[in-house]
């Protein structure tokens, strides 16, 4: 089958994005397609697969997202910005309510975060700090800036559901070996966290600036994870490190976003939705084989604008 897709990224979190509103695939086929397209060493590569899907009476359109291991995520906020941009472009909209796997989000075009960089604002939540919603088994009812019994790391964590599960801890300096060790343990489906979870180490670099490094469920150590940035913004406000209702700059190895936690535990993120180009590829799902990507419409100006924006941050 021929698959048309856009290669896109939000804060360096990159994906193939498909307009799947008329594409009928079963769940095993979607999982296979995600593994093929998002295989990092494959012809396309990415942190996962995004699909623009039909909405309903309350939603202009929907989004689905599969990790590179074929598992489906509840949400992906970097991917949501890219999917929202495609929905806006195809439907002639500037704002919409978007249906996610288990929740809903408000999305809108926003002033450029940097010259020439398409920017989308998302508002998600209210988000939960109930341990049961995070997927923690046998933990206290909620965990805010406290050690988690049974976790093989003594740091104080804040557990939040965005609605996908996140464990956030604030550190003086990110130790990637420590982060990978804990993320790998969470990836093993331990009894404490049987559905796995995302783990973020966060440096507070000022009253309104955070740096986030994340081990992402189903992906591994990643340069950027949108829901992790949102979870970090909320966790910083919940623990008094930043204030509710105040803009925060959130940095990671992929770039940056503007964020803000609201008192009702909703979180706003505004950041890039960069389209690197449109492509087509032949996919044989039964054989698990992809052809070579066919370039349809490259967008070098968008790539250059984002590269300039990232360079300006360093």
Known active-site residue 225: yes
Phi, psi dihedral angles at 273 (to 5 degrees): -135, 85
CA distance 245 to 82: 25
List the catalytic residue out of 8, 76, 82, 186: 76
Place of tokens 């087509």: 280
Tokens of 250: 């959130």
CA distances from 34 to 28, 68, 69, 73 (A): 10, 6, 7, 12
Known active-site residue 82: no
Quote the strand ranges of the chain, DSSP E: 2-10, 13-19, 48-56, 59-67, 72-73, 95-99, 104-109, 119-124, 158-161, 165-170, 198-204, 209-216, 220-222, 248-252, 255-261, 267-272, 274-284, 289-290, 294-298
CA distance 77 to 257: 11
CA distance 218 to 214: 12
Which residues are part of the catalytic machinery?
76, 225
């Amino acid at each position: 089958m021929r698959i048309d897709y856009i290669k896109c990224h939000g804060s360096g979190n990159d994906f193939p994005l498909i307009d799947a509103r008329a594409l009928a695939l079963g769940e095993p086929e979607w999982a296979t397609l995600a593994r093929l397209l998002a295989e990092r060493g494959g012809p396309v590569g990415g942190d996962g697969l995004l699909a623009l899907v039909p909405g309903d009476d309350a939603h202009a359109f929907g989004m689905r997202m599969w990790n590179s291991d074929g598992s489906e995520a509840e949400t992906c906020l970097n991917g949501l910005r890219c999917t929202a941009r495609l929905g806006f472009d195809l439907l002639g909209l500037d704002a919409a309510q978007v249906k996610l796997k288990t929740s809903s989000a408000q999305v809108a075009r926003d002033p450029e975060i940097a010259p020439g960089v398409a920017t989308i604002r998302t508002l998600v939540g209210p988000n939960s700090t109930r341990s049961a919603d995070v997927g923690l088994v046998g933990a206290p009812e909620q965990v805010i800036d406290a050690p988690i019994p049974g976790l093989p790391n003594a740091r104080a964590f804040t557990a939040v559901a965005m609605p996908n599960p996140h464990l956030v801890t604030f550190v003086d300096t990110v130790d990637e070996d420590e982060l990978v060790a804990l993320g790998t343990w969470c990836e093993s489906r331990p009894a404490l966290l049987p559905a796995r979870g995302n783990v973020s180490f966060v440096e507070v670099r000022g009253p309104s600036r955070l740096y986030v490094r994340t081990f992402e469920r189903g992906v591994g150590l990643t340069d950027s994870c949108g829901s992790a940035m949102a979870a970090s913004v909320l966790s910083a406000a919940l623990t008094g490190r930043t204030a509710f209702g105040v803009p925060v700059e959130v940095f990671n190895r992929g770039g940056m976003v503007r964020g803000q936690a609201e008192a009702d535990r909703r979180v706003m993120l505004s950041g890039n939705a960069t389209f690197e180009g449109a492509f087509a590829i032949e996919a044989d799902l039964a054989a698990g084989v992809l052809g070579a990507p066919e370039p349809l419409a490259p967008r070098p100006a968008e790539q250059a604008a984002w590269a300039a924006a990232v360079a300006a941050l360093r």
